[in-house]
Each structure stands twice: as structure tokens, then as C-alpha cells.
Amino acid sequence: MAATYVIARLTFREAARRKILLAALLLGLAFLAIFGVGFNYVNAELRTTSTRYDLLQRSEMYNFFLMAGLYVVNFLTVMMTVLTSVVTLSGEIASGTIHTVASKPLRRWEIVLGKWLGFAIMVTLYLLLMAGGVLALVYGLSGYLPPNPGRGLALMWLNALLLLSISILGGATLSTLANGVMVFGLYGLAFIGGWVEQFGSLLNNPTAINIGILTSLIMPSEALWKRAAYEMQSPLVGALGFSPFSAASVPSPAMVVYAVLYLLATLGLAIRQFQRRDL
């Protein structure tokens, strides 16, 4: 396992030097700055008109603003995860640089697992910065915290690791371009399927709901976000059953377990494919 940690450290350093990560960090910091300024003005307006809004109404507005921020954070984290990892393995195989590592006394599974771990550390730090920043800004300015923030962030983290595992699998099997198309295609499929299920639940349409469930089985990324939003949504939104940033149809805990198994199976398949691939 020592070799795996070495590969993870080298992968983390290499990813940290990429301009894509720098751009993601700068855009993320810009988003946090705009979010903080915007929320500060919203909060100030709510407090100056406190006679018109009681505590419950303010809490609902705070939750809505917070969920909007976390929705953007989830999207930015997914994009950063895919764009930084999509070139790993496939790009190194195409350029021949993989031989520098593969020629050493390392097992191929150690290379794959090490690269996955290096990117996973990077993704974790990015998510903590972004999601933690949104939560800290809202709490610092208003004193509001959503229900179950730990569960919600854990599900967002699992979502990012799921996309990372699929990207690593594509890198072990496909070219860089084909890998990017595959990962973003699956993410888009899950996204549109999730909204079809949302509207199907609102309209009580079993066919639309089943389409959403099927796309969640093919790619459970949107289901993880919907579960995360459900964990952090306010009780009133949960009672009403709909918000642009939450879920009318809530994925069950079984779907979360399925997503974990999906991640492990994808990572295992990536190791298997890389071991069989001709370098």
C-alpha cells in the first residue's frame, strides 16, 4: 500500500499544478464572494423589514438561498472533478508517460488506486472549501444552519467520488476525448432523468417516475444530489414537496447504498481494465 500512497501524492501534486484546477479555484472563490455579498444584502433587507417577515419566513428564505448556493457548489465540484481527472491514464497512455510509472516494480492496481486516491483528496478539499464556505457565510451573517448538513455534504462528496470513479474507468478503457463524452453524457442523462422524475411526481405520472428511476439506476449522480437536498431542506419545503433545489421524489436509502456499490464496482472494473490494457 505504500506505493499507492506515493502515486496518490504524485497525482495530487500533478493535479494541483494544472490550470484547470487553478481556474476552478478562482471561479469558486469568485462565486463565494458574489454569494456572500448577495446574501448579505438579502439578510439586511429581511432584518430591516422584520415586521413583515416572522422567524419562520426568514428561515425559509435563508434555506432557499443556501440550497441555491449548494446546488451551484455541487455542479462546480462535479465539473472540476471530471475536467481534472478525465485525462489521467488515457492521456498518459497516449503520450507514453505511463511507461515511466508502469515500468517500476508496481502493480497496476496500485497505479489506478493511487491515482483515484490522489484525485479523491483534491475533490474532498475543494468540496470542503466551497460547501463549507457557503455554510459559513450563511451562518456567519444570519446564524442559520440547515437540517443535517453533515449528511448532505457527505452525499455531495459521494456524488463527486462517483463521477471520479467513472472518469478513471473511462481513462483505463477509452481515449481522453471519448472518456469526456462518456462521463458528461452519463451526467447529462442523470440530470434530465431526475427532472423528468420530479415533474412525474408532481403530475402523478407513473411512466415519468419510472423513467427517472431507470436513469438513476444507469447513473445515480442526480439521485445523490436529490437525497442531499432532501436531508438539508427545511421542514416546510419537505411538507410542500417541491422546490427548484430539492426533490419532490426522494431517493430512498437503498439508492444511496446502490450508489456506493456502483462506485466500488466502477473502481474495480477500472482496475481490471487497466490490468488487461496493452500499454
pLDDT the model gives residue 242: 55
d(CA 237, CA 135): 19
- Torsion on CA atoms 182, 193, 84, 122, rounded to nearest 10: -140
Q: Which stretch of 138-142, 190-194, 224-228, 275-279 has the lowest confidence by average pLDDT?
A: 275-279
Q: Does position 255 have pLDDT exceeding 90, yes or no?
A: yes
Q: Does position 75 have pLDDT exceeding 60, yes or no?
A: yes
Q: How confident is the model at residue 163 (pLDDT cuts 50, 70, 90)?
A: very high
Report helix, strand or coil for 219. Answer: coil
Q: List the alpha helices (DSSP H) in 49-148.
A: 55-85, 90-95, 98-102, 108-142
Non-local CB neighbours of 236 within 8 Å, separated by 6+ positions: 56, 60
